[in-house]
Amino acid sequence: MGAGHSHRLYRHGHSPVHALPPHTKLAAVLAFVIVVVSTPREAMWAFGAYAVLLAAVAYAARVPAGFLLKRLLIEVPFVAFAVLLPFVAEGERVDVLGLSLSVNGLWGAWNVLAKGTLGVAASVLLAATTELRELLHGLQRLRLPPLLVQIASFMVRYGDVITDEMRRMRIARESRGFEARGTRHWGVLAKSAGALFIRSYERGERVHLAMVSRGYTGVVPVIDEVAASRAQWSYALALPCAALVVCLLGWTL
Amino acid sequence: MHAPDGFIDVPVSAAAGVLAAGAIAVSLRGARRELDDTARPGASGGAERTAPLAGLVAAFIFAVQMLNFPVAAGTSGHLLGGALAAILVGPYTGVLCVSVVLMLQSVLFADGGLTALGVNITTMAITTTVVAYALFRGLVKVLPRSRRSVTAASFVAALVSVPASAVVFTLLYTVGGTTDVSIGKVATAMVGVHVLIGLGEAAITALTVGAVIAVRPDLVHGARGLGQKLKLRVNGELVDAPETAEPVPAAARSPRKVWIAGLVTSLVLAGFVSFYASANPDGLEKVAADHGIDKQAEEHAVADSPLADYGVKDVDDARLSGGLAGVIGVGVTVVAGTGVFWAVRRRRAADERAEDTSPAGTSV
């Protein structure tokens, strides 16, 4: 539990991006995504510029392109949705390769694809260069309510425990010859889910009592406070600032 | 259903973000009260209970979303968990836990855009939980106090909560969508698909709530009234004999009631809802018609049947005719299905009787 664990998306390294304090990185990614989303979709070159900026960050963080591209697969459902847009949208239509497509729908598809991909890429880079615990500390430094951050950190810590519990229940079912094949078997699966809830809740009670007996009063003390220097802030915010310049150019040109 | 960045425009995303932040602030306060209330008499209640318990419940929701429920060959679905969380741990904790799951999914797994987080929390955490809980409370008040009505209420609550979240998403899309797809189309597609998803969600939620109630009714936030009744029975076991006599078996629900409820639901959905559904062709049919793809399409073999194209032949009003066709369709399906089921069961029973040579008393 804790320090040694890292999540699946994290990629250990010692690059300058890894070394930045987590809250500066969080703020930078959030600002970058906001800038990207508010760029007009007609400025196609601007999105290319954003992609170049992200590629520069990936290079600085020594995250290989293959790793990044593989993680981008998470947005496949939206690609499917975006492909549908030109067919169903309203407005004037244009003929492409014998298909009548809506101009507006094409723009909409481009909009969702470009902005969604850039947003996912930025999040993936953040997750790849920041450890889970640091990320939670960063959220707390950004003035999220401490209780919310604590709940999130408990979820992160016990997520694997609960998932493993569920896996053991599945193995137990399967080793007794059960195989869920259709809606008839929902009852069994739902009973497992119910048992999982009871076990999770009771584990929560035990964890709480164990923590109280060790002096927990509702706040987790932060022992490794990381303050960001001005240089680190400006280094991290270079990304959204460059993006902002591109965005302003996109609006004016 | 996680919306990505750039799907909803900036002002609406920001407004949804403010709404989500407000709801989370209220839920943080409410969750303390809820998790404190559920404390057993011996345990030391307090604000510090909230973090571990809510965190573990969030981990449970995260895990249970990975539990696959097979529907038919090859396809499977999973739980969304909003209604389940609301009923098991209360609405405030429910909103909080689902929001935390969404937040971590967006920050850690890049599932759902960062700027769309407000939209995602509004539709998937707040709407599902609040709608489900309001409906659940109302139904539990109206229905007789029993475990079965808690299960039934959670079925209905989960069933409605999923399309409700689709409706809210459509509203947000109407105000701030970045592509002008006609709202009717978005609404029809979203609500249609989500009624189906809602059916699965409802069945799983009701079964899960039933399973927890059977073992630890004190842990189910929505069944607190029942818990107190049980405690009385334990205290005066000899005195309250008539009360005790009331059986509380775990399952053993009469199939006839389930059957009738299912039939009524299908009839209502088929007859009444399709009455209001759009008479326009659906997206795929429309695309096909636009491109002339359907010119080659051969007429279906039963195109002349009285129910062809989901309308009754000699009824002119399109909506009435669609509704009637729905009702008749459900009727035929039910009769055919029941017939097959009945025949199979009779044969099996006959086989068992033939094979069964054991003495009486073992029959189930």
| Confidence band, pLDDT 50/70/90 cuts, at residue B170 | confident
- The secondary structure of B158-176 as a DSSP string is HHHHHHHHHHHHHHHHHHH
Domains of chain B and any CATH numbers: 10-251 (1.10.1760.20), 283-355 (no CATH)
Picking from A124, A133, A138, A132, the residue whose alpha carbon sits closest to that of residue A63 is A124
Per-residue pLDDT at B257? 62
Q: Check residue A195 and give its pLDDT.
A: 92
A107 touches chain B (CB under 8 A): yes
CB A125 within 8 A of CB A68: yes
For chain A, 253 residues long, give each residue's pLDDT as a single digit of tens.
444 455 666 777 788 888 888 889 999 999 999 898 888 888 888 899 999 999 999 998 888 888 888 888 877 777 777 777 777 776 667 767 667 777 777 888 888 888 888 888 898 888 888 888 888 888 888 888 888 888 888 888 888 889 999 999 999 999 998 887 777 788 888 889 999 999 998 888 898 899 889 888 877 777 767 677 888 888 888 888 888 888 888 888 7
Contacts of A193 in chain B (CB under 8 A): 64, 67, 79, 204, 208, 211
Q: Is the pLDDT of residue B131 over 90?
A: yes
Nearest Cβ partner for A37 among B5, B70, B96:
B5
Q: Is the pLDDT of residue B287 over 90?
A: no
Q: Is the pLDDT of residue B140 over 80?
A: yes
pLDDT at B273: 53
- Cα torsion angle, B166, B170, B173, B175, sign: negative
Question: How far away is chain B from the Cα of A28, in angstroms, using its nearest Cα?
Answer: 12
Nearest residue in B to A91, CA atom = B180
- Long-range contacts at A154-157 (CB < 8 A, ≥ 24 apart): A154/A207, A154/B51, A154/B52, A154/B54, A154/B55, A154/B56, A154/B58, A154/B59, A155/B55, A155/B56, A155/B58, A155/B59, A155/B62, A155/B97, A155/B100, A155/B101, A155/B104, A156/A7, A156/A132, A156/B104, A157/A1, A157/A2, A157/B55
DSSP state of B357: -
CA atoms within 13 A on the CB side of A221: 6
CA distance B199 to A186: 13
Q: What is the CB neighbour count within 10 angstroms for residue B292?
A: 9
CB contact under 8 A, A90 and B66: no
Mutation for testing the A interface, residue in B49, B71, B108 having most A CBs under 10 Å: B108
Q: In angstroms, rounded to a whole number, what is the distance separating the alpha carbons of residues A219 and B52?
A: 11
* pLDDT value at residue B6: 78
Looking at chain B, the whole-number percentage of residues with pLDDT higher than 70 is: 55
Distance, in Å, from the CA atom of B28 to the CA atom of A154, rounded to the nearest integer, reads 15
Q: Cα-flanking dihedrals φ and ψ of residue B234, to 5°?
A: -70, -40
Tell me how close the Cα of A230 comes to any Cα of chain B, in angstroms. 25
Q: Considering chain B, what is the average pLDDT of its residues?
A: 72
pLDDT the model gives residue B351: 62
Nearest chain B alpha carbon to A131: B108
Q: In total, how many domains does chain A have?
A: 1
Q: Which residues of A touch B55 (CB under 8 A)?
A: 150-155, 157-158, 204
- Residues of B in Cβ contact (< 8 Å) with A181: 70
Q: Taking a C-beta distance cutoff of 8 angstroms, is the pair A156, B109 a contact?
A: no
Q: What is the DSSP string of B221-252?
A: GGGHHHHHHHHHHHHTTTTTHHHHHS---SS-
Whether residue A151 and residue B25 make contact (CB cut-off 8 A), yes or no, is no
Report CA torsion sign: A212, A217, A220, A224: negative
A163: nearest CA partner in chain B: B63
Q: Does A238 touch chain B (CB under 8 A)?
A: no
3-class DSSP state of A91 = coil
The complex scores an ipTM of 0.86
B204 reaches A (C-beta below 8 A):
yes
SS3 of residue A99 by DSSP: strand
Please check whether residue A217 lies inside any domain of the structure: no
pLDDT tens per residue, range B182-209: 777 778 877 888 888 888 889 889 999 9
Instruction: List beta partners, residue A95.
Output: A100
- Does A27 map to a domain? yes
Query: Is the minimum CB–CB distance between A29 and chain B shorter than 8 Å?
Result: yes
Q: B223 Cβ partners below 8 Å, 6+ apart? A: B147, B150, B213, B217
| Cβ–Cβ under 8 Å, residues A138 and B29 | no
Count of other CB atoms within 10 angstroms of residue B194 = 22
A111 is a domain residue? yes
b/e B321-354 (16+ beta carbons within 10 angstroms → b): bbbbbbbebbeeeeeeeeeeeeeeeeeeeeeeee
d(CA B313, CA A203): 61
**Residue B309 above 70 pLDDT?**
no
Expressed as residue numbers, the domain containing A62 is: 16-139+227-252
- What number is the average pLDDT over the span B81-91? 89
B291 or B56, higher pLDDT: B56
The answer as to whether A109 is a domain residue is yes
Greater confidence, B316 or A64? A64
> A220 in a domain, yes or no?
no
C-alpha R_g of chain B: 25
Q: Tell which B residues from 51 to 90 touch A, by Cβ distance under 8 Å.
A: 51-60, 62-64, 66-72, 79, 88-89
Contact between chains at A112 and B114 (C-beta distance less than 8 A): no
| B274 pLDDT higher than 70 | no
8 Å CB contact between A197 and B212: yes
Q: Does A40 touch chain B (CB under 8 A)?
A: no
Burial (CB count <10 Å: 0-12, 13-18, 19+), residue A143: exposed
| Burial bucket for residue B264 (CB in 10 Å: 0-12, 13-18, 19+) | exposed
| Domain contains A112 | yes
Asked if residue A182 belongs to a domain, the reply is no
Quote the CA–CA distance of B181 and B169 in Å, as a whole number.
14
Q: What are phi and psi of B53, to 5 degrees?
A: -70, -50
Chain B contact for A87, CB < 8 A?
yes
Amino acid at B264: V
In a domain, A170, yes or no: no
A residues 164-183 closer than 8 Å to B (CB): 165-166, 180-183
Tokens 């089921």 locate to: B341
B101 touches chain A (CB under 8 A): yes
Q: Answer with the residue of higher pLDDT: A183 or B22.
A: B22
Q: How many angstroms separate the CA atoms of A152 and A192, rounded?
A: 24
Residue of B nearest to A190 (CA): B208
pLDDT confidence of B294, banded at 50, 70, 90? very low
Closest Cβ opposite residue A155 in set B59, B216, B290: B59
Examine the pLDDT at B292 and tell me if it is beyond 50.
no
Whether A27 and chain B come into contact, CB under 8 Å, resolves to no
Which region among B90-94, B145-149, B338-342 has the lowest average model confidence (pLDDT)?
A: B338-342
Q: Which of residues 46-65 of A touch B (CB under 8 A)?
A: none
HSE-CB of B136 using CA atoms within 13 angstroms: 34
More confident residue, A134 or B264: A134
Angle of CA points A103, A109, A110, to nearest 5°: 90
In the block, which residue shows the tokens 């405690």?
Answer: B231
For residue A182, give the nearest of B72, B79, B104 by CB distance: B72
pLDDT on residue A230:
84
B165/chain A closest Cα distance in angstroms: 19
Lowest-pLDDT range, B164-173, B181-190, B276-285, B331-340?
B276-285
**In this structure, what are the phi and psi dihedrals at residue A154, rounded to the nearest 5 degrees?**
-65, -40
Q: Is B154 on the interface with A (CB under 8 A)?
A: no
Mean pLDDT throughout B279-294? 45
Q: Which pLDDT score is estimated for B299?
A: 44
